[in-house]
Amino acid sequence: MFVRVARLAFYWKNKFDEMYPRVDLNELIAGAFKPIGNQLQTDLVACRNGSITREELVRRYGHLRPGQFSVFSESYADDPETYLFAHMSSATNPMKTHRHNAFEGTIEFKNVIMFMQARERMKFLFTQVLYLFSVKLKRVLAERGISEKDASRLSWRILDSFLSGPCETEMSSGEEFPVLLPDVIVPGVTDLKVVTFAEAMPSYITSTIVKACVCVLEQPNAKVDVQGALVLLPNSDPGYDFLFHSGAVGIITKVGGPASHMCIRALELQMPSCIGCGENMYQTLASAKTVVLDCKSRQIIVLD
């Protein structure tokens, strides 16, 4: 369901751009709906004021984690002090910033808002289910005496056979991680071809110019001080939502489109960002020390 809703959001975003090519949809979207991240901020304030308990806050958001689809990575519930409570003192109730516009009555704009809102909700629910699966999988692995490191080397078919019956084969800890292609790719049957993509078309948020050092978060569980830094991320999933309230001055992601979670949050909070800078720029920035994120002229300049 999440994939279907995400596709519809992407379709209507493109449809709007096609119908109104001179209109900046990002500017119109800001404040048009309330993302999950806004509710997190409201709940942080409520927890600070004693309206809800810390335990309830963890119950609602503990399933989130950086690198959302890495099953064995750390969740907010594993370290709530870092991911939730460390930002509680600076949390504020989000202000409604939506301004009426001439396009909000069009079917294209209505559907963009409706399906982007639905996409946010579906992804939040999906990550809850993924978290429950992860917790159960880790527990079963521990009962079976299988380390997470060993388990991460196996395809699901092989791992399932170990979990379903007696482990008759020893797992070698020296094996390299396999490259697992989807089951739908069948040699000799599937017509697999190389597709050449054009240069990335990133989304720049705000018209701010930011000069700062680069902080790379390649590892999902990396705990570093991002105060005053431009944070460089490989992807843009909800697990990185804590970065918006950690003192970072800007965010740059390798992947992520204009309808992605990170783009929506950056718009809502007016965080200077470049969402989806592409592989080439990402590799350049990963080895840089200081850069200028110029959202106004839509460019990133490496200083050193």
Whether the pLDDT of residue 23 is over 90: the answer is no
Range of 267's domain? 203-302
Residue 121 lies in a domain: no
At residue 192, the pLDDT reads 54
Across 95-99, 157-161, 215-219, least confident range: 95-99
Q: Does residue 39 have a pLDDT over 80?
A: yes
Residue in the block written with tokens 């939730």: 84
Tell me, what DSSP letter sits at residue 165?
S
Assigned domain for 288 exists: yes
Separation between Cα atoms, residue 135 and residue 192, nearest integer Å: 35
Residue 285: per-residue pLDDT: 93
Q: Report yes or no on 164 lying in a domain.
A: no
Q: Is 17 exposed, middle or buried (0-12, 13-18, 19+ CB in 10 A)?
A: middle
Residue 171 lies in a domain: no
**Edge-first strand listing for the sheet containing 299-302:** 203-205, 273-275, 250-253, 230-233, 209-216, 290-294, 299-302
Looking at the domain assignment, is residue 196 inside a domain?
no
Query: In CATH, what number is assigned to the domain containing residue 243?
Result: 3.50.30.10
- List, for residues 197-247, the tens digit of each pLDDT value: 555 688 898 889 999 999 998 776 667 888 899 999 988 777 788 888 888
Q: Which residue bears the tokens 């019956």?
A: 165
**Cα 261 from Cα 266, distance rounded (Å):** 9
**DSSP assignments along 27-40, one per residue:** HHHTTSS--HHHHH
Q: Does a structural domain hold residue 142? A: no
Please give the structure tokens belonging to residue 3: 């994939």
10 lies in some domain = no
CB 197 within 8 A of CB 278: no
Question: What pLDDT was estimated at residue 181?
Answer: 46
| Residue 33 located in a structural domain | no
CA 286 – CA 292 distance, rounded (Å):
14
- Dihedral pair phi/psi, residue 162, rounded to 5°: -70, -40
Most confident of 6-15, 165-174, 183-192: 6-15
State the amino acid at position 85 in one-letter form: F
* Number of separate domains in the chain: 1
* pTM for the whole structure: 0.67
Calpha distance 69→63 (Å, rounded): 12
